């Protein structure tokens, strides 16, 4: 049982670390382009951001962060 709890704790830390790293990278784009993630996403979906590789990376980072947050939420909700 102790081993299982250690594994669960380690997985929780992995979720938190992944979210933190992605947030740090997103903040760099927010500062560079002076846009919030919501504003960026709205402009992206309206086709107003262009095809710069930074924008594709930023979009992927935001989506990855959302996925990790969902994973953490599901784990918390189900007591995993």
Q: Which long-range contacts (CB under 8 A, 24 or more apart) does 63-71 make?
A: 64/18, 64/22, 65/19, 65/22, 65/23, 65/26, 68/15, 68/18, 68/19, 68/22, 69/19, 71/15
For residue 4, pLDDT beyond 60: no
pLDDT at 9: 74
pLDDT at 11: 83
pTM of the model: 0.80
Average pLDDT over residues 59-68: 94
pLDDT at 21: 96
Count of structural domains within the chain: 1
Record the tokens describing residue 15, joined without a space: 């979720």
Query: pLDDT tier at 53 (50, 70, 90 boundaries)?
Result: very high
Find where tokens 């959302």 sit.
66
> Whole domain around residue 38: which residue ranges?
2-77
């Amino acid at each position: 049982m102790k081993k299982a709890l250690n594994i669960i704790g380690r997985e929780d830390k992995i979720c938190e670390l992944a979210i933190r790293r992605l947030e740090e990278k997103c903040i760099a784009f927010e500062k560079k382009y002076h846009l919030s993630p919501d504003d960026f996403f709205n402009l992206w979906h309206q086709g107003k951001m262009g095809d710069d590789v930074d924008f594709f990376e930023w979009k992927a980072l935001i989506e990855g962060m959302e996925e990790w947050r969902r994973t953490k939420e599901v784990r918390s909700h189900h007591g995993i």
